[in-house]
Amino acid sequence: MFDTKSKVELLDPINSSRPSTFMQLAIRLQEEHEQLKAKCNILCELSMRTASSSGRFGALQLLKDLRLHAEAMLHDLEQHSKWEDEELFPVFSRYFRKSTEPTILPSLWVLEKDHELALQFFESFLQLSRTLIAVMQLDKECTDPRLKEKLKEGCDHLTQGCFILSGHFQMEEELIFPLANQILTDIDYLFS
């Protein structure tokens, strides 16, 4: 398992005899993961705060903000996934398909399933939050305790989605960075 310092050293163009396009892909992966993990942590904290909120107006405003943040996170994830699928993973697949070792395709498939599961939790939250916001706006005096339970349930789904995403990013890094190190080492040997 790589810590942050070793990832930085691994992907430092100065430590490479020949910086490459592949290295730029690996650096971009690292940077985007750091940004997505930070956003995921913020979203998780906001979700837990919303779930424990009291007071109708405060809960409604927190839920609206949380929903906006969740939608923005989904947009960022979509852009990141598209880039991985179109640019990053094809490089790994082509490179490692030529070796005699097992391919990385099964590992990428497992990672994709984790990603899909996280998205399902996000979608569940978005559906519940849409309904809750509508009810809270229509009936401002509603004191139904089930409303609070549904709010907590929706936030719990989002929090679970965030936890799954964080694990997904960690597993992806544990798979990709050693492979990136191997490719970068091969490139250095080839050009040294």
Whole-angstrom distance, CA of residue 37 vs CA of residue 154: 21
**Does the reported pTM lie above 0.85?**
no
CATH of the domain at 141: 1.20.120
* Nearest alpha-carbon partner for 161 in 97, 74, 91: 74
* Nearest alpha-carbon partner for 121 in 179, 89, 176, 164: 164
Domain that holds residue 34: 23-74+105-191
* Total number of domains in the chain: 1
Which mean pLDDT values do the consecutive 10-residue runs of the chain (192 residues) have? 46 52 82 95 95 81 95 96 89 65 60 90 97 86 78 96 93 81 72 63
Q: Is 95 a domain residue?
A: no
Q: Is 41 a domain residue?
A: yes
Phi and psi angles of residue 97, each rounded to the nearest 5 degrees, phi first: -65, -25
Q: Is 17 a domain residue?
A: no
pLDDT score of 98: 53
pLDDT score of 72: 97
Dihedral of alpha carbons 16, 17, 23, 24, sign:
positive
pLDDT score of 83: 93
The token pair that represents 48 in the structure block? 């837990």
